[in-house]
């Protein structure tokens, strides 16, 4: 567990409607997601591999909104931002890997008279 006075680096990650507030701890190896122990997969921890720091940080993430995949990508974005705060020299490698870019794609709103955002009602000639 992490103590309140432990030094941490902070990063906020977003993807679609998912938001994640991430803290990385240098002297801890725990992975916590919304206050519970969680086994992070390769997708989430890939920023550590890019900078060569795999296994040297503990992660505490609070995430809300979106679906599972969006939350995973939001946590990855937050970890990347926290790593840049830890060491600004990591920025170039993380940027090249595409982990610092916030994916801007959002769900398009439904328009009146249509079934979905672009799907029109079925049309028949007769």
97-107 pLDDT tens trace: 999 999 999 99
Cα(5)–Cα(124) distance, integer angstroms: 68
SS (H, E, C) 79-98: HHHHHHHHCHHHHHHHHHHC
- Rounded CA separation 48/42 (Å): 10
In a domain, 121, yes or no: no
Q: Is 82 part of a structural domain of the chain?
A: yes
On whether residue 3 sits in a domain, the answer given is no
CATH number of the domain bearing residue 44: 3.30.230.10
Say if 40 falls within a structural domain. yes
Within the chain, strands assigned E span 8-15, 18-25, 31-33, 36-37, 58-64
Residue 24 structural domain: 8-97
CA dist., res. 28 & res. 57, Å (int)? 6
Whether 6 has a pLDDT exceeding 90, the answer reads no
Asked if residue 125 belongs to a domain, the reply is: no
Non-local (6+) Cβ contacts of 21 within 8 A are 10, 12, 61, 62, 63, 78
Judge whether 37 lies within some domain. Answer: yes
Q: Count up the domains in the chain and report the number.
A: 1
Tell whether 51 is covered by a domain.
yes
Residue 1 lies in a domain: no
Q: Whole-model pTM?
A: 0.88
Could you read off the pLDDT of 58-105 as tens digits, one per residue?
Answer: 999 999 999 999 999 999 999 999 999 999 999 999 999 999 999 999
Helix (H, G, I), strand (E, B) or coil at 106: coil
The residue among 29 and 4 whose pLDDT is bigger is: 29
Structure tokens that stand for 75 in this block: 């946590």
What length is written for the chain? 126
């Amino acid at each position: 567990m992490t103590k309140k006075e432990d030094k941490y680096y902070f990063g906020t990650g977003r993807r679609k409607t998912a938001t994640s507030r991430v803290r990385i701890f240098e002297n801890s190896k725990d992975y916590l997601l919304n206050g519970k122990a969680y086994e992070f997969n390769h997708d989430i921890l890939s920023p550590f591999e890019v900078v060569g720091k795999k296994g040297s940080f503990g992660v505490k993430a609070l995430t809300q909104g979106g679906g599972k995949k969006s939350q995973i990508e939001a946590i990855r974005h937050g970890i990347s931002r926290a790593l840049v705060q830890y060491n600004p020299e990591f920025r170039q490698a993380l940027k090249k890997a595409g982990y610092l870019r916030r994916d801007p794609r959002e769900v398009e709103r439904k328009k009146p008279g249509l079934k979905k955002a672009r799907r029109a009602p079925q049309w028949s000639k007769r």
